[in-house]
């Protein structure tokens, strides 16, 4: 069931912000029972710095409860000892139209996650497609309206974008990431309107410094009203957020992003995932959308 909410944008002209529609989401998550940082495969990870698995679990549980309170349908995949990054469920695949396109991870440390997620998809009635090309799931594939934005540059191979086009029959738009701290697309782009209302344009927020000039031209042309996020907020993975169209779960320290969202009529909900940030992930990394 969908509910419509409206808010007032605090501008001198006292304009009324567009109505935002919250739509129930179905998602997959993985409890971080075995979370730690024992290797380094992105700039956020420092194995020499101790991590607190108990704190990571408590922070994850806060995120889980937030989704419960929003009325989401939450499914869980069992964590596996020795796979500390399984908590970042978004990387486990991409699911659309009941088809689950499996992941094929770049680094050996994460490669065993792929069959675990594909087994879960298969056991839960999804049409599983085994990937031919390296890709890291919804980390680099974001559905915006009817278009799939696809990241490349660090993790997912650009040939996986062609594979996505064949599988889903949707337009796939390639965006090239150039900053290693924002190695997945979902760290540099937030989808604000997953299912826009009739007549409304799907919109995003993004970090300009994460992309090359060709990709920026694409983003400016397709999303002229996008929110541009500061480097300061991006440093907390503020863009690694998850939206139902009205409520947007973001990093609690991304305060300017929160301000911008409220001005556009959204309801940002800040959560503290600072321990999971040590592995290079935030709210979106922990959240894989299941679209039948």
Using alpha carbons, list the distances in angstroms from residue 61 to 87, 174, 225. Answer: 12, 34, 34
User: What residues are paired with 172 via a beta bridge?
Assistant: 148
Looking at residue 70, what DSSP letter applies?
A: T
184 is catalytic: yes
Helix (H, G, I), strand (E, B) or coil at 239: coil
Euclidean distance between CA atoms 16 and 19, whole angstroms: 9
Task: Spot the catalytic one: 30, 46, 161, 285.
Answer: 285
Using alpha carbons, list the distances in angstroms from residue 272 to 119, 237, 240, 269. Answer: 31, 11, 12, 10
Task: Spot the catalytic one: 30, 46, 161, 184.
Answer: 184
Residues written for the chain: 292
Q: Where are the alpha helices (DSSP H) in the chain?
A: 53-69, 113-123, 159-168, 213-222, 231-234, 255-263, 274-277
């503020």: which residue's tokens? 238
Burial 41-55 (b: 16+ CB within 10 A, else e): bbebbeeeeebeeee
Euclidean distance between CA atoms 28 and 107, whole angstroms: 22
Q: Which residues are catalytic?
A: 184, 285
């Amino acid at each position: 069931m969908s509910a419509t909410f409206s808010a007032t944008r605090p501008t001198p002209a006292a304009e009324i912000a567009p109505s935002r529609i919250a739509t129930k989401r179905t998602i997959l998550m993985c409890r971080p029972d075995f979370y730690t940082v024992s290797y380094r495969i992105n700039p956020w990870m420092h194995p020499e710095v101790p991590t607190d698995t108990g704190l990571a679990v408590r922070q994850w549980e806060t995120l889980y409860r937030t989704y419960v309170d929003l009325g989401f349908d939450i499914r869980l995949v069992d964590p596996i000892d020795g796979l500390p990054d399984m908590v970042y469920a978004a990387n486990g695949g991409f699911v659309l139209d009941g088809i689950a396109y499996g992941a094929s991870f770049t680094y050996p440390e994460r490669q065993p996650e792929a069959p675990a997620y594909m087994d879960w998809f298969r056991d839960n009635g999804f049409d599983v497609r085994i990937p031919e090309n390296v890709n890291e799931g919804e980390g680099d594939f974001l559905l915006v309206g009817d278009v799939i934005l696809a990241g490349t540059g660090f993790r997912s191979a650009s040939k996986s974008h062609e594979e996505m086009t064949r599988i889903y029959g949707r337009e796939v738009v390639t965006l090239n990431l150039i900053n290693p701290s924002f190695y997945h697309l979902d760290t540099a782009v937030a989808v604000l309107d997953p299912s826009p209302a009739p007549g409304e344009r799907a919109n995003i927020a993004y970090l300009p410094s994460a992309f090359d000039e060709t990709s920026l031209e694409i983003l400016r042309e397709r999303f002229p009203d996008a929110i541009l996020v500061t480097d300061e907020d991006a440093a907390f993975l503020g863009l690694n957020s998850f939206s139902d169209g009205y409520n947007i779960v973001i990093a609690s320290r991304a305060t300017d992003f929160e301000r911008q969202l409220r001005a556009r009529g959204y309801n940002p909900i800040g959560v503290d995932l600072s321990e999971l940030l040590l592995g290079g992930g935030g709210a979106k990394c922990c959240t894989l959308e299941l679209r039948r």
